């Protein structure tokens, strides 16, 4: 029997079909399925995704750390009894906020929703956040303050198909979501693909031979570049004055804020020629169908919210958002990065993208949960602070981790490893023994994507059905079942269904009237393959295109918000380099899944640092040799990969590797003051030849 479902990886959520085949060993054939985002195509991660279902590394029984320091199999009832007893003890001795929950952007909407409810009602804790804080928080904060709502793409992806100009800032879709490239062909044919990236990435190379422009700015100067382009737009009167008058507020303040960023000054900061800055402004203003899209490369900074805001300001100056054939959006990364942040995993939100401090929102959600509003805790603390608080006075003493591998993916990761070691109890729900699971006190084996029912929300705000195609191993359990069993043991009020369709129905009721309103949706409706872009209130047919008539602020207008470029907290000196991090085509996130697929692991078997040949020569580094990258936070040894595709002042590391190969041993945990996004992208490092260093010592 063939099952229609979607890929377990990125937020493109490519459609695929799974067909189990006969044999002693579980085998599942993957085929592409026609769908607007991927049109039947898949990347190599998607084509090989079913191999994980029969992986020999699969967890099939709970594991508990014994007195000998090792993990040993344990029965489910014993594991859950022990966990409930420990959670109850810690809450009595240290208060409810002594227990923390860390979620993930790969969880289904049902699990993300139930996890937020479980934390607040069954555990009574405010200490919940998730790994989307490391991914979409700056883009979300910028969209909320400019538009009054946060949806990655406020238009269907297919709208890009007829664009003549697309500006991509900080996103290498050629490696991260290859089927996306089919939507850029019109812009390439018109010579209008603009890629802003310190590397000549797979995506940047698409601009060759007259197809567009690659802008190779100094790392961390994207905000200055955007201010400079906006300056030209206003100075040359390229802005859409009627649109600004009718649909926005704040132009006067914005005009003052960009007045000092004339092209020559912008060039001195960004390294982008003044003539190119003028060319970019004129191209964006002259386009018939223009889109500006941002990604993590410009958002994962301590000024990421302001940078995303500057991109929105530029789009508004040009009259793009809400105008047919034009737009602004941000490319959600994780598979359910959009839905995962809408329904309660974030420390300050309730289902439907409601603010947890809003009395009416609390009353509505409490009525759905069957509890009094004052039983819902107030706002908690964001991800980095949550992890850093582990084992500290007033911090969490126990942490439950769902769908995240924080000892690889968190910034300044050695401090996170040290913090987790201080915990009384670390519990990890996973289907593989990830680096985080390896250090846990209790590991609970859960279902993989093709073994469960549920829904996901992709980068367009389109709600999709994930369907069960194979039976799970006998020892694995749904996280909905785990939460229900723990809620019963903890005498939690309310209903705790283990049926995904029923949980979704409750989510729909809880989201009703919120910004992310799913109230008109159900599993049954989604099974009809309707186009279901939220908001989708009862009686509607969804909202594929936001902002056509108004923005989500009370007056219907977008906000132009003046921002300013600031010096980064780390600046390279002398022979130091700026480290940038990112993804590889064959891998995904912390690599917990993709490093277990032989074909994908073979494509990138070791950590390689991309360095410019001139930079390498100055440091005595040879292609294929070993370089030690280090700073005050840590050091990493990596293979040298020479490439003229990177700036001379920059070195690139992928972040998919664990243990002592984790790029996040070097990254900074300095935070954006608005979004609490860490500064992942511009760590300052020294690069030394390992052989030379050892000989000198």
- In whole angstroms, give the CA distance from residue 68 to residue 71: 9
614: closest CA among 644, 638, 573?
A: 644
Q: Which residue bears the tokens 């344990």?
A: 74
- In whole angstroms, give the CA distance from residue 69 to residue 439: 10
pLDDT at 694 over 70: no
Map residue 425 onto helix, strand or coil: strand
For residue 24, the model assigns a pLDDT of 62
- In whole angstroms, give the CA distance from residue 625 to residue 116: 47
- In whole angstroms, give the CA distance from residue 353 to residue 355: 7
Helix/strand/coil (H/E/C) assignment for every residue in 602-622: HHCCCCEEEECHHHHHHCCCC
225-239, 393-407, 522-536, 564-578: least confidently modelled range: 564-578
Q: What would the mean pLDDT of 424-446 be, rounded to a whole number? A: 98
Query: Taking the C-alpha atoms of 166, 172, 177 and 179 in order, what is their torsion angle to the nearest 10 degrees?
Result: 50
Tell me the Ramachandran region of residue 684: left when phi exceeds 0, alpha when psi lies from -120 to 50, beta otherwise: beta
Q: What would the mean pLDDT of 315-330 be, rounded to a whole number? A: 98
For residue 696, the model assigns a pLDDT of 41
The pLDDT tens digits for 199-258 are: 999 999 999 999 999 999 999 999 999 999 999 999 999 999 999 999 999 999 999 999
Task: Kindly state the DSSP code that residue 17 receives in the 8-state scheme.
Answer: E
Name the pLDDT band for 564 (thresholds 50, 70, 90).
very high
For residue 439, the model assigns a pLDDT of 98
- In whole angstroms, give the CA distance from residue 329 to residue 273: 26
Q: Which residue bears the tokens 């991800």?
A: 383
| Verdict on whether the full-model pTM lies above 0.75 | yes
Backbone angles phi, psi at 489, to 5 degrees: -65, -30
Are residues 599 and 48 in contact, defined by beta-carbon separation less than 8 angstroms? yes
Tokens linked to 375? 């039983």
The pLDDT tens digits for 98-122 are: 999 999 999 999 999 999 999 999 9
- In whole angstroms, give the CA distance from residue 235 to residue 376: 51
- What is the bridge-based pairing of β-strands 442-445 and 425-430? parallel
pLDDT at 453 over 90: yes
- In whole angstroms, give the CA distance from residue 428 to residue 445: 9
For residue 69, the model assigns a pLDDT of 95
Name the pLDDT band for 697 (thresholds 50, 70, 90).
very low
The pLDDT tens digits for 490-509 are: 999 999 999 999 999 999 99
The pLDDT tens digits for 252-304 are: 999 999 999 999 999 999 999 999 999 999 999 999 999 999 999 999 999 99
- In whole angstroms, give the CA distance from residue 455 to residue 471: 18
Cβ count within 10 A of residue 78:
11
Q: What would the mean pLDDT of 60-88 be, rounded to a whole number? A: 97
Domains of the chain as residue ranges with CATH:
3-54 (2.20.25.90), 63-131+336-498 (3.40.50.740), 137-330 (3.40.228.10), 577-696 (2.40.40.20)
Name the pLDDT band for 573 (thresholds 50, 70, 90).
confident
């Amino acid at each position: 029997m063939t099952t229609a479902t979607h890929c377990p990886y990125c937020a493109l959520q490519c459609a695929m079909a799974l067909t189990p085949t006969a044999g002693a060993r579980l085998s599942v054939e993957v085929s592409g399925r026609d769908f607007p985002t991927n049109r039947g195509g898949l990347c190599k991660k998607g084509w090989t995704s079913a191999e994980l279902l029969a992986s020999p590394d699969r967890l099939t029984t709970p594991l508990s750390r014994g007195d000998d320091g090792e993990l040993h199999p344990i029965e489910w009832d014993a594991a859950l009894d022990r966990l409930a007893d420990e959670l109850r003890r810690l809450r009595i001795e240290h208060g409810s906020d002594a227990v923390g929950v860390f979620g993930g952007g790969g969880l289904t909407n049902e699990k993300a929703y139930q996890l937020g409810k479980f934390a607040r009602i069954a555990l009574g804790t405010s200490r919940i956040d998730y790994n989307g804080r490391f991914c979409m928080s700056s883009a979300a904060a910028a969209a909320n303050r400019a538009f009054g709502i946060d949806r990655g793409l406020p238009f269907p992806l297919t709208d890009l198909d007829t664009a003549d100009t697309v500006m991509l800032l900080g996103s290498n879709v050629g490696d991260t979501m290859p089927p996306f490239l089919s939507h850029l062909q019109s812009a390439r044919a018109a010579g209008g693909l603009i890629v802003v990236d310190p590397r000549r990435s797979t995506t940047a190379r698409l601009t060759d031979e007259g197809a567009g422009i690659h802008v190779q700015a100094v790392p961390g100067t994207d905000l200055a570049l955007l201010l400079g382009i906006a300056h030209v737009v206003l100075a040359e009167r390229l802005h859409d004055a009627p649109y600004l008058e009718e649909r926005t507020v704040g132009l006067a303040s914005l005009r003052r804020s960009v007045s000092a960023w004339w092209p020559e000054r912008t060039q001195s900061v960004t390294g982008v020629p003044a003539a190119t800055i003028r060319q970019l402004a004129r191209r964006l203003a002259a386009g018939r169908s223009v889109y500006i899209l941002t990604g993590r490369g410009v958002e994962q900074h301590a000024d990421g919210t302001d940078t995303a805001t500057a991109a929105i300001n530029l789009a508004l100056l040009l009259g793009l958002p809400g105008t047919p054939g034009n737009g602004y959006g941000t490319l959600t990364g994780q598979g359910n990065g959009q839905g995962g942040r809408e329904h309660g995993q974030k420390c300050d939100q309730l289902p439907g993208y409601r603010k947890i401090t809003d009395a009416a929102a609390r009353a509505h959600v409490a009525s759905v949960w069957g509890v009094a509003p004052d039983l819902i805790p107030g706002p908690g603390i964001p991800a980095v602070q949550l992890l850093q608080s582990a084992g500290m006075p007033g911090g969490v003493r126990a942490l439950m981790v769902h769908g995240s591998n924080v000892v690889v993916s968190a910034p300044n990761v050695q401090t996170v490893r040290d913090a987790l070691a201080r915990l009384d109890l670390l519990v990890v729900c996973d289907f593989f023994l990830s680096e985080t699971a390896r250090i846990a006190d209790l590991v609970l084996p859960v279902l993989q994507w093709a073994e469960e029912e549920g829904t996901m929300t992709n980068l367009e705000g389109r709600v999709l059905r994930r369907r069960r195609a194979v039976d799970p191993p006998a020892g694995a359990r749904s996280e909905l079942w785990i939460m229900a069993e723990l809620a019963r043991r903890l005498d939690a009020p309310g209903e705790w269904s283990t049926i995904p369709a029923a949980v979704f129905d409750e989510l729909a009721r809880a989201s009703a009237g919120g910004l992310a309103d799913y109230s008109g949706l159900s599993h049954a409706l989604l099974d009809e393959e309707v186009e279901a872009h939220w908001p989708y209130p009862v009686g509607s047919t969804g909202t594929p295109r936001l902002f056509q008539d108004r923005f989500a602020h009370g007056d219907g207008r977008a906000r132009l918000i003046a921002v300013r470029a600031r010096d980064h907290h780390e600046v390279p000196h002398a022979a130091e380099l700026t480290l940038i991090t990112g993804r590889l085509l064959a891998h995904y996130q912390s690599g917990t899944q993709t490093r277990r697929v032989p074909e994908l692991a073979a494509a990138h078997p070791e950590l390689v640092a991309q360095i410019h040949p001139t930079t390498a020569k100055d440091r005595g580094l040879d292609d294929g040799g070993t370089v030690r990258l280090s700073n005050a936070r840590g050091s990493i040894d990596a293979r040298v990969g020479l490439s003229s595709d990177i700036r001379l002042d920059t070195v690139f590391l992928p972040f998919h590797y664990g243990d002592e190969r984790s790029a996040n041993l070097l990254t900074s945990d300095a935070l954006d003051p608005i979004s609490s996004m860490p500064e992942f992208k511009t760590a300052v490092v020294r690069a030394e030849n390992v052989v030379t260093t050892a000989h000198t010592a």
